[in-house]
């Protein structure tokens, strides 16, 4: 029996990872801020799949939350075999519309927490000679898209660099770059989604299946959908100025306040 720790497990992509990994028989450590939701999810996954699901309430925008999760990842007697650094959010509006405190909160959750949790997990995994880390980035990493895109670009660069540094240790790291996925993300951020064409939306469960297949193949970067693979290929050919115009508008317009 192996154990997977998922941050942001209660909704969207994280919940899809939890469903899939529980169905495969992995025990889980579920991390998010909403304790009620975490407990309900743990009970449901335990009852449905007979796995152990531990609840760890933590706000990853603060030291205390990051330290609590890092401590769990460092437990040698009850090791974590797979870490999914998935917790994240969007901020509505463009640069200077977003309060600085929210920009900094994003950098803490998307970058600092990912750095510290990856380090805590990878250190323990390296001692055992095996373990996997999936860091959820975004295709926004490849286009100019404010602090969000910049933070996800950091996730991609960091993960691929660390994967290279740890090659041969038995520890594998993969950056996962989804396109638009139907989750709570856009509503939570108050972002309008009317400008996003239907064909661009991905299903969270299919995304997770493709991501885990890429992880099993030993990839350090996963862009799971052929539509987005093609789009990301095309971005290399489009002038950067034009790309910036397109990407800064899609899905970033204000929704109802």
Give the catalytic positions in this structure.
148
Of residues 158 through 187, those in contact with ligand NAP by CB under 6 A are: 178, 180-181, 183-185
- Per CB under 6 A, does 11 bind ligand NAP? yes
Binding segment for ligand NAP among 4-12, 72-80, 211-219, 242-250 (CB under 6 A)?
4-12
Nearer to ligand NAP, 42 or 58 (CB): 58
188 counts as binding ligand NAP under rule CB under 6 A: yes
Q: What track of x and - describes contact with ligand NAP for positions 193 through 232 (by CB under 6 A)?
A: ----------------------------------------
When asked if residue 146 is in the footprint of ligand NAP (CB under 6 A), the reply is no
Task: Provide the greatest CA pair distance for the chain.
Answer: 53
Residue 20 or 130 having the CB closest to ligand NAP? 20
CB 200 within 8 A of CB 179: yes
- Bridge partner residues of 221 (DSSP): 175
* Per-residue contact flags (x/-) with ligand NAP for residues 37 to 66, judged by CB under 6 A: x--------------------xxxx-----
CB of 89 to ligand NAP, least distance (A): 5
Least distance to ligand NAP, CB of residue 87, Å: 4
Which two three-digit tokens encode residue 193? Answer: 């989604």
**What is the C-alpha separation between 236 and 172, in angstroms, rounded?**
27
Nearest CA among 238, 212, 214 for reference residue 23 = 212
**Does residue 141 belong to the site contacting ligand NAP (CB under 6 A)?**
no
How far is Cα 106 from Cα 88, in angstroms, rounded to an integer? 8
Binding piece for ligand NAP, criterion CB under 6 A, among 1-9, 126-134, 159-167, 221-229:
1-9
Comparison of 118 and 138: residue with beta carbon closer to ligand NAP: 138
Window of 44-52, 81-89, 156-164, 217-225 that interacts with ligand NAP by CB under 6 A = 81-89
Cβ at position 191, least distance to ligand NAP in Å: 10
Give yes or no for residue 136 binding ligand NAP (CB under 6 A).
Answer: yes
Chain contacts with ligand NAP (rule: CB under 6 A): 7-14, 32-34, 37, 58-61, 86-89, 109, 136, 138, 178, 180-181, 183-185, 188
């Amino acid at each position: 029996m192996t154990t997977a720790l998922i941050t942001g497990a209660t909704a969207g992509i994280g919940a899809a990872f939890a469903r899939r990994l529980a169905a495969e028989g992995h025990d889980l450590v579920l991390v998010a801020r909403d304790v009620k939701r975490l407990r309900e999810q743990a009970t449901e996954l335990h009852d449905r799949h007979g796995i152990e699901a531990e609840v760890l309430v933590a706000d990853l925008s603060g030291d205390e939350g990051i330290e609590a999760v890092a401590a769990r990842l460092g437990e040698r007697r009850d090791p974590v075999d797979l870490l999914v650094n998935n917790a994240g959010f969007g901020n509505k509006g463009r640069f200077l519309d977003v309060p600085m405190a929210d920009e900094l909160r994003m950098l803490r959750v998307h970058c600092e927490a990912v750095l510290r949790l990856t380090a805590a997990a990878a250190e323990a995994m390296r001692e055992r000679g095996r373990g996997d880390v999936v860091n959820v980035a975004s295709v926004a990493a490849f286009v100019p898209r404010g602090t969000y895109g910049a933070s996800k670009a950091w996730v991609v660069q960091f993960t691929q660099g660390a994967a290279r540094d740890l090659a041969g240790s038995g520890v594998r790291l993969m950056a996962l770059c989804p396109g638009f996925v139907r989750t709570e993300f856009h509503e939570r951020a108050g972002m309008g989604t009317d400008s996003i064409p239907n064909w661009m939306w991905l299903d969270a469960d299919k995304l997770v299946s493709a991501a885990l297949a890429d992880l099993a193949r030993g990839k350090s970067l996963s862009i799971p959908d052929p539509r987005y693979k093609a789009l990301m290929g095309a971005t290399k050919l489009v002038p950067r100025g034009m790309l910036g115009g397109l990407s800064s508008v899609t899905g970033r317009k204000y929704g109802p306040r």
